Amino acid sequence: MWGGRYASGPSAIMEQINASIGFDRRLYAQDIAGSKAHCAMLADQGLISAEDGAAIQDGLDRILKEIEAGTFEFKTALEDIHLNIEARLAELIGDAAGRLHTARSRNDQVATDFRLWVRDAVDGLDEQLQALQAALIEKAEAHADTVMPGLTHLQPAQPITFGHHLLAYVAMVGRDRGRLRDCRARVNESPLGAAALAGTSFDIDRHATAAALGFDAPMENSMDAVSARDFTLEFLAALSISAIHISRLAEEIVLWCTPQYGFIRLSDAYTTGSSIMPQKRNPDAAELARAKAGRIVGAMTGLMIVMKGLPLAYGKDMQEDKEPAFDAAESLSLAIAAMAGMVGDMEADPDAMERALVDGFPTATDLADWLVRVLDMPFRRAHHVTGQIVALAEKQGCGLADLPLADMQRVESGITQDIYSVLSNVASVQSRTSFGGTAPGRVREAAKAAREKFL
């Protein structure tokens, strides 16, 4: 490829560090699509003949079939997917293949290919995240009345419903999908026609190629078009946040599966055993989904460091953008699939959840609220009075609902028998009817709204 300027070939090390065909071959479909759009535009603009245009289009179609059939020979000496396809095109149609690169550089070519790939990856991940939401919503509807401990600091806080807990993740995944949509909108501009960095002197139609490839518009600045990789960073940032959400749910599944919690059970489909301990049922799918966040956040961090301080326009450093993005997308895709499977598979144990509500005085806030509502007590004083009652119950080794009324009245004389109407866990969740609250009716409304919004 460089015979006009170079008298000898690269060293083995140079060939090894320079070649990207080992990983960028997955861009073949995007590269061929971009080349077909560019070829059509060149022919329409009279920059190549109709005959050469037709030969190029036919050759590219043949190459696509060869790659998909597994008969295409990828050559490391040709560095990347672009040159591999171009060389094969020359073998198929002869000199006409050389006209395809008119008014184009590998710089704008690779930027176009990669934007097309990120766009496709966003669409695929969005579809998977929607399926995860569907699994969560279905499980939430089934457990709108199932009462469990709500925790803060991993300590008993207030009773909630299992359905409410799961819908929290539906909302989080919804924002993940929103970030991907935002990313897609900024990805969806075409670098094609920016050439190496300065544009081209040929009379090309960048709007035509952008439209042909489904882009909203061509990028406005040719230097920015070839040197920008913020679209990849934004993609990886969106994936990182989504992976963290997956990791948090995975962590809870790991905890809920332990005998200490026992809130859920996973089947053999999503657990593994131990090589030495025959009794074990390990939630390995959740643990591995949790671990994927490290790879994905690492990919984002790594590319940020690659891009930091790079002068305009293109530098070969940018070749390092693809492997982390490919790996991150694959890792998140696998984690989402595993999580959707586990959510659908997990079987809740309402009795275990109810037993876990015995400790920690989870209805203490309900007691304080009753003091405010019925006795017109300022909340800060109600908080103090409730704390004294909790300390008394703790000393007697009983729950608030089991503490004698007389003992409560020694702390606050205005307390009546009605206090017990708010101290059960079921009464607590049923009272949380504020918008976004955990009351079963609200959970059902929220699940229905989530179906309409996301599915």
**What positions carry a catalytic annotation?**
153, 274
* C-alpha–C-alpha distance, residues 371 and 367, integer Å: 6
C-alpha–C-alpha distance, residues 192 and 211, integer Å: 11
Amino acid identity of 27?
A: L
- The CA angle 442-244-302, to the nearest 5 degrees, is 155
Whether residue 313 has a cis bond before it, omega within 30° of 0: yes
For the stretch 261-268, contacts whose Cβ atoms lie closer than 8 Å and that sit 24 or more positions apart, written own/partner, are: 261/352, 261/356, 262/349, 262/352, 263/148, 263/162, 263/348, 263/349, 263/352, 263/353, 263/356, 264/346, 264/347, 264/348, 264/349, 265/346, 265/347, 265/349, 266/342, 266/345, 266/346, 266/347, 267/345, 267/347
First vs last C-alpha separation in the chain: 50
CA distance linking residue 12 with residue 125, whole number of Å: 38
With residue 56 as reference, give the H or E element that holds it.
helix 50-69
Q: Could you tell me which of 208, 193, 8 has the C-alpha nearest to residue 107?
A: 193
Which residues share a beta bridge with 54?
Answer: none
Query: Going by C-beta distance under 8 Å and a sequence separation of 6 or more, which residues neighbour residue 176?
Result: 129, 238, 241, 242, 245
Cross-strand pairs, 422: none
Structure tokens at 227: 């040197």
